[in-house]
Amino acid sequence: MPATILVGTQWGDEGKGKATDLLAARTDFVVRYQGGNNAGHTVLAGGQLLKLHLIPSGILYPDVTPVLADGVVIDPKVLLEEMDALTDREIDPSRLAVSGNAHLIMPYHLAMDAVTERYLGKLKLGTTKRGIGPAYADKAMRLGLRVQDLTDPKIFREKLEVVLKEKNLVLSKVYNRLPLDGDSMAEDYLGYGERLAPHITDTAALLYEALRAGKRVLLEGAQGTLLDLDHGTYPFVTSSSPVAGGALAGSGLGPKEVDDVIGVTKAYVTRVGSGPFPTEDAGEAGRQMGEKGNEFGTTTGRARRCGWFDAVLLRYAVRINGLTELFLTKLDVLSGLPRLQICTAYRADDEVFEDVPPHQSLFHRAEPVYQRLSGWTEDLTAARRFQDLPPAAQAYVRRIEELAGVPVRYISVGPDREQTLEVTTSARHRRPA
Ligand code: GDP
Ligand code: IMO
Ligand code: MG
C-alpha cells in the first residue's frame, strides 16, 4: 500500500491533529517525522479532547501503531508524561514505536533556547522554548545524543560529559548562567531510557516492512510549510523540515512509497511568534477569527495572530509539497463576517507578485491584493455534505480550490471528528442551490 503525507500549508495550527485523527480511521501507522513537543495537535472525538505534543494523532484508534521516526527530536521526560497522561485516561500508548536514531532534547537545549531568545531582545523569534532549535543545531554539529544512547549507560555518560563541558562553558561564560550537573542529568535520562526501552526500534525498517505487507501509513507533519527551515520565512521558522520532502528524510521512506500529499489549510491564516504575515488583520475581522476560532497556542497559550486567507501562500505550499488535495478547516469560524476577502497576489515596490517574492525584504513589504467575496450568516457546524453549506460558503471553497489548482477533498466545520464533510466530485461541480 502507498503512504500518505499530511502537511500544514501555513504557519502551523491548521488543524493537522483533527485531520490526522479523521484519516487515521483508514490507516495502520501514524508517523511523526520531524519537530518535537513544539507541536500542539488537538483531537476531539467520542467525547475525548486530547492535546498532543509528541504522540501522533492516531492514538485514539486501538489498531493504529503510532511512530516517532528518525527525524523527530524527543524530550523523553515530556514523552513519558504524555504517555502517562494517556494511560490515566485509559488510552493505551503501549504500541508506540520510537526510533533509536531520533535525537534527544537535553536540559541544556532548553536553557540555550531561553537565553538565546533573551539575547536577541526585540529581534527574538518567539520560539516555543522547548529546546527545538538547539537540539537540531547539535544534531547538525554531530554533537547530539540519540534515543539509542539511552540504552547504553557507558556511552551515554561519555558523550554527555564531552558535550556538557562545552555547554556549561557557554552557559556560564557567555550567558552568565549556572552550569548544569551532568551526574543528575545522566541519572534522570538513563531512568527515562529504561522506561522507553521497550518502544525503541528501527522505525524506518518497521515502516518499510509494513508497506510491503500491504499496511497503510500516514505521515503526520507538525508545524507548517512557511515554518520550514529551507522553504519557510527564514529566520522566523522552526529548525526542521515539515514539508513533504522532510517526511521522506525524517521517516526513511523512499519517494515512490507515497502517492497522496494532503495539505491542511485553515479557511483564514494564523501565526504564533514573530515574522512577516502579509494578510494579518489587526481589526474587527482578525479579532472575530481569534475569538470564534479560539486561536490560542496549544503549546504555549499565546494568542495567535489572525488574518485573511492567503492564496499566494497556498499556491506556494501546493508547489513545494506537491499537494494532491486539500483538507480545509475552520470554515465555520467565518460565519457572520459581513464581507470576506482572499489575497490573490502581493504588491511590493510597484510590482505585482503572484508567487512568494524572491527576496525576504519584498515579502516583508508585501501588500496583499484582495478579491472580495460575500460572507454568510448561517451556522455551519451541523453541515455534513457540501450541499448543506450556504451558497456563499460553497463559493468561498470553490474559489480557494480554483486558486490552488488542487481539489478540496475535506471541509471541517467544527473541532469534533464528526464535524467534517467529504466533498465528492459530483458535489463539487454542482451549482449551488
Ligand atoms: P494543529 O497544530 O495543526 O494540529 O492545530 P491545533 O490543534 O494547534 O489548532 C487547531 C484548533 O482548532 C484546535 O483547537 C482544534 O480543535 C480546532 N479545530 C480544528 N478544526 C476545526 C474546525 O473546523 N472548526 C473549529 N471551530 N475548530 C477547529
Ligand atoms: P503545530 O504542529 C505554530 C513557531 C513558534 C516560533 C517558531 C520557532 O502545532 O502546528 P520553535 O520552538 O519551533 O523553535 O519556534 O515556530 N512554531 C509553531 N507555530 N504551530 C506549531 O506547531 C509551531 N511550532 C513552532 O511559535 O514562531
Ligand atoms: Mg498546533
Same domain, 125 and 267: no
| Cβ–ligand 1 contact at 9 (below 6 Å) | no
The answer to whether 115 and 175 are in contact (CB under 8 A) is: yes
Same domain, 276 and 420: yes
Number of domains the chain contains? 2
Q: What is the pLDDT of residue 433?
A: 45
Give the list of residues 6+ apart from residue 265 with CB closer than 8 angstroms, or none.
9, 10, 14, 314, 317, 326, 327, 328, 329, 400
- Asked if omega into 235 is within 30° of 0 (cis), the reply is yes
The answer to whether 173 and 120 are in contact (CB under 8 A) is: no
Return the C-alpha cell found at 320: 513545494
Give the list of residues 6+ apart from residue 334 with CB closer than 8 angstroms, or none.
267, 268, 289, 340, 375, 376, 393, 396
Same domain, 280 and 187: no
| Cβ–ligand 1 contact at 101 (below 6 Å) | no
Instruction: Express each pLDDT in 4-24 by its tens digit.
Output: 999 999 999 999 999 999 999
Compute the distance from residue 415 Cα to the ligand 1 centre, in Å: 6
- Which residue has the CA at smallest separation from atom 6 of ligand 1? 13
| Cβ–ligand 2 contact at 272 (below 6 Å) | yes
The answer to whether 299 and 39 are in contact (CB under 8 A) is: yes
Compute the distance from residue 42 Cα to the ligand 1 centre, in Å: 6
| Cβ–ligand 1 contact at 42 (below 6 Å) | yes
The answer to whether 185 and 175 are in contact (CB under 8 A) is: no
- The answer to whether position 135 is within a domain reads yes
Q: What is the pLDDT of residue 426?
A: 65
Instruction: Express each pLDDT in 89-105 by its tens digit.
Output: 999 999 999 999 999 99
Compute the distance from residue 190 Cα to the ligand 3 centre, in Å: 30
What is 261-320 written as a DSSP string? EEEEEESSEEE-SSS--TTB--SHHHHHHHHHTT-B-TTT-PBPEEE-EEHHHHHHHHHH
Which atom of ligand 2 approaches the CA of 14 most closely? Answer: 10
Nearest Cα residue to 332 out of 377, 367, 300:
377
Percent of the chain residues past pLDDT 90, beyond the cut: 95
- The answer to whether position 302 is within a domain reads yes
CATH of the domain at 288: 3.90.170.10
Instruction: Express each pLDDT in 59-88 by its tens digit.
Output: 999 999 999 999 999 999 999 999 999 999
Q: Where are the alpha helices (DSSP H) in 142-283?
A: 153-169, 182-196, 203-212, 244-251
**Helix 132-140 / helix 107-120 crossing angle, nearest 10 deg:** 110
At 31, is the secondary structure helix, strand, or coil?
A: strand
- The answer to whether position 32 is within a domain reads no
- The answer to whether position 146 is within a domain reads yes
Residue in this structure with the C-alpha cell 539575547, named with its chain if needed = 119
> What is the residue range of 172's domain?
103-196
